[in-house]
Amino acid sequence: MNRLNVCLSPALIPLFKVEDYIVVIIDIFRATSSICYGIENGAEAIIPVAEVEECAAYGELGAGYLLAAERDGKVVDGFDFGNSPFSYTKEKVAGKTVVLTTTNGTHALHLSRNAKKIVIGSFLNLTSLCNWLKSQGEDILLACAGWKNNFNLEDTLFAGAVVEQLKPLNFKLDDAAIAANDLFQTGKADINGYLKKTSHSERLKKLGIEKDIEFCLQVDLTTAIPVLKGDKLVRLNE
Amino acid sequence: MNRLNVCLSPALIPLFKVEDYIVVIIDIFRATSSICYGIENGAEAIIPVAEVEECAAYGELGAGYLLAAERDGKVVDGFDFGNSPFSYTKEKVAGKTVVLTTTNGTHALHLSRNAKKIVIGSFLNLTSLCNWLKSQGEDILLACAGWKNNFNLEDTLFAGAVVEQLKPLNFKLDDAAIAANDLFQTGKADINGYLKKTSHSERLKKLGIEKDIEFCLQVDLTTAIPVLKGDKLVRLNE
């Protein structure tokens, strides 16, 4: 029986032998949502980096890179755009390589780098991702990027949505997978409403990105599954 | 507004500035349940240690210590008893100092050692603990001992039960406190039944300690609040 485990924070990833798993990286607000949307819209690759300085360094390699960096919800001077999924449209990203600055997501990716495979999940590609995961016959680790190494509700709720689709296949769930799924049951009728009570939602509201939040909570808008090849996220070709 | 935060695993305790908090250590199966029961029953002190060898070392200090150590659910040869709460009766522990071997609980205690105050929680002393916490006017961190540094459901469910009693006081909850409380809502009608689906429960069942589990899930059997003084847990005198 394959395992379906949920890692509630990057700080807990070292507890898992990631070599045994396909790892799904989850950072709903907004990195993995924007990545799914960008790859769907034809971005050739998306390179996630942790720091604005690393992102800027790619700019010096030539004009081939679109640079995305935000601080406090605003595009950093000299960069092409920020982390809003609305920046990842066909018009902007098709055929381009985007360098995306994302602290939590990059941290989770880095800690998972020895996994069998690393793919990217968000509500946008939920069912497509789950169908692919079902076909793999492997142990699966849903890795929540969280917030500054701690637990957050939106990533956990999404993990619970994945568990919901996979559990008919008789995976062995760990306690975190059970909990994530039960939280999804509690919140699923109105995920946006449910998440409004979180502190993170307050923080995002202050940044004026409520439209981004609504966008990131749309289910099955896309079908592309971003997969890590080297240091680049590209579209998975089956 | 005071904070009411939940730490879902000892691995996440370093994310909190414990100096700012009263920390409640939670290790429902079975360390903190046995500690609450033992202190209620007149144990002069309970000393939690991580290793059987540390526990044995207390035996060499003289006959004043009762030594509790288990491996794989069985009392280790040469020790007085194990971790079952049924060992912590008045007849056995009144007036005695017990040295208790508990890996997860000791780990959480050690990481919290700079807290304003460290107290011990379990379903056994739930309401008494909550009433005391309500009277303190302090930030509160509910620290789940978990299982080998990872999340577990039973400790989280108890944290959610504490949140349930404290939230009318208008604490500021973090995402983990919201999640723990929602999981408690899901499980509260039949906590034992709810926990039966966890892997940990399977493990405990194999050890033949189902009676311990039932015992540990009794609500408000005791009123004593164990508090850490130096390296000893003693009864809190208000």
Secondary structure in 3-state letters for B51-69: CHHHHHHHHCCCCCEEEEC
Question: Is 80 exceeded by the pLDDT of residue A229?
Answer: yes
B59 located within any domain: yes
A150 located within any domain: yes
**Structural domain of A103:** 3-233
- My answer on whether omega of the bond before B203 falls inside 30° of 0, hence cis, is no
**Residue A211 tokens, joined:** 């439209």
Residues of A in contact with B15 (CB under 8 A): 11, 148-150
Segment A157-170 shows an average pLDDT of 97
pLDDT tens digit string along A21-51? Answer: 999 999 999 999 999 999 999 999 999 999 9
When scoring A29, A111, A150 by the number of chain B Cβ atoms within 10 A, the one with the most, hence best to mutate, is A150
Rounded Cα distance between B183 and B174, Å, is 14
Tell me the shortest Cα–Cα distance from A158 to chain B, in angstroms: 13
**Residue B99 tokens, joined:** 């040295």
Q: What's the number of CA atoms in the CB half-sphere (13 Å) around residue A136?
A: 25
Rounded Cα distance between A216 and A167, Å, is 24
Residues whose CB falls within 8 Å of the CB of residue B202, separated by 6 or more in sequence, listed in order:
none
Residues of B in contact with A156 (CB under 8 A): 179
Tell me the shortest Cα–Cα distance from A96 to chain B, in angstroms: 37
Quickly list H helices, B70-125: 90-93, 103-111
Residues of A in contact with B8 (CB under 8 A): 8-9, 151
Segment B43-67 shows an average pLDDT of 92
Tell me the shortest Cα–Cα distance from A122 to chain B, in angstroms: 19
Question: Is 70 exceeded by the pLDDT of residue B238?
Answer: no
Q: Are A23 and A141 in contact (CB under 8 A)?
A: yes
pLDDT tens digit string along A191-223? Answer: 999 998 886 777 777 777 889 999 999 999 999
**Average pLDDT of the residues of chain A:** 94
Percent of chain A at pLDDT > 90 equals 84
Question: Is the CB of B52 inside 8 Å of chain A's CB atoms?
Answer: no
A18 located within any domain: yes
Residue B88 DSSP label? -
Residue A9: closest C-alpha in chain B? B12
Rounded Cα distance between B196 and B206, Å, is 13
Residues whose CB falls within 8 Å of the CB of residue A97, separated by 6 or more in sequence, listed in order:
A43, A44, A45, A46, A47, A64, A65, A66, A232
Burial of B173 (0-12, 13-18, 19+ CB in 10 A): buried
Question: Is the CB of A44 inside 8 Å of chain B's CB atoms?
Answer: no
B90 located within any domain: yes
Percent of chain B at pLDDT > 70 equals 99
Residue B206 confidence (pLDDT): 77
Q: Are A133 and A166 in contact (CB under 8 A)?
A: yes
Residue A204 confidence (pLDDT): 74
Question: Is the CB of A188 inside 8 Å of chain B's CB atoms?
Answer: no
Q: Are A36 and A224 in contact (CB under 8 A)?
A: yes
Percent of chain A at pLDDT > 70 equals 99
The owner of tokens 């509700």 is: A153
Q: What value of ipTM does the predicted structure carry?
A: 0.96
B83 located within any domain: yes
A238 located within any domain: no
CATH number of the CATH domain containing A142 = 3.90.1560.10
When scoring A149, A182, A199, A200 by the number of chain B Cβ atoms within 10 A, the one with the most, hence best to mutate, is A182
Tell me the shortest Cα–Cα distance from B203 to chain A, in angstroms: 12
**Residue A49 tokens, joined:** 């980096």
Which of B67, B125, B75, B69 shows the shortest CA–CA distance to B97?
Answer: B67
**Residue A94 tokens, joined:** 């098709």
Rounded Cα distance between B205 and B210, Å, is 6
SS3 A135: coil
**Residue B183 tokens, joined:** 């999981």
DSSP codes joined into one string, B138-162 = SEEEEEE--BTTB--HHHHHHHHHH
Segment B140-168 shows an average pLDDT of 97
**Residue B94 tokens, joined:** 């009144």
Rounded Cα distance between B29 and B34, Å, is 9
Residue B95 confidence (pLDDT): 96
User: Helices (H), strands (E): how many in chain B?
Assistant: 10, 12
Answer whether A179 sits within 8 Å of B197, measured CB to CB: no
Residues of B in contact with A198 (CB under 8 A): 175, 178
Q: Are A178 and A4 in contact (CB under 8 A)?
A: no
Segment A121-150 shows an average pLDDT of 97
Question: Is 90 exceeded by the pLDDT of residue B108?
Answer: yes
Residue B74 confidence (pLDDT): 80
Q: Are A141 and A21 in contact (CB under 8 A)?
A: yes
Dihedral sign, Cα of residue B194, residue B200, residue B205, residue B211: negative
Q: What's the number of CA atoms in the CB half-sphere (13 Å) around residue A215?
A: 20
Question: Is 70 exceeded by the pLDDT of residue A238?
Answer: no
Please provide the distance, in angstroms rounded to a whole number, between the alpha carbons at the two ends of chain B. 24
Rounded Cα distance between A175 and B150, Å, is 9
B238 located within any domain: no
SS3 B220: coil
B205/B61: higher pLDDT: B61
Helices B175-187 and B153-166: crossing angle in degrees, nearest 10, is 100
User: Helices (H), strands (E): how many in chain A?
Assistant: 10, 12
Task: Count Cβ–Cβ pairs < 8 Å, chain A vs chain B.
Answer: 80
Question: Is the CB of B3 inside 8 Å of chain A's CB atoms?
Answer: no
Residues of B in contact with A151 (CB under 8 A): 8, 12, 175-176, 179
Q: Into how many domains does chain A fold? A: 1
Rounded Cα distance between A177 and A183, Å, is 10
pLDDT-derived band at B53, boundaries 50, 70, 90: very high
Please, which residues bridge with residue A150 across strands?
A147
Segment B48-73 shows an average pLDDT of 88
B117 located within any domain: yes
Return the H-helix or E-strand segment holding B210: helix B210-216
**Residue A117 tokens, joined:** 């495979």
Residues whose CB falls within 8 Å of the CB of residue A30, separated by 6 or more in sequence, listed in order:
A83, A84, A85, A209, A212, A216
Residue B61 confidence (pLDDT): 87
pLDDT-derived band at A183, boundaries 50, 70, 90: very high
pLDDT tens digit string along A77-127? Answer: 989 998 899 999 999 999 999 999 988 899 999 999 999 999 999 999 999
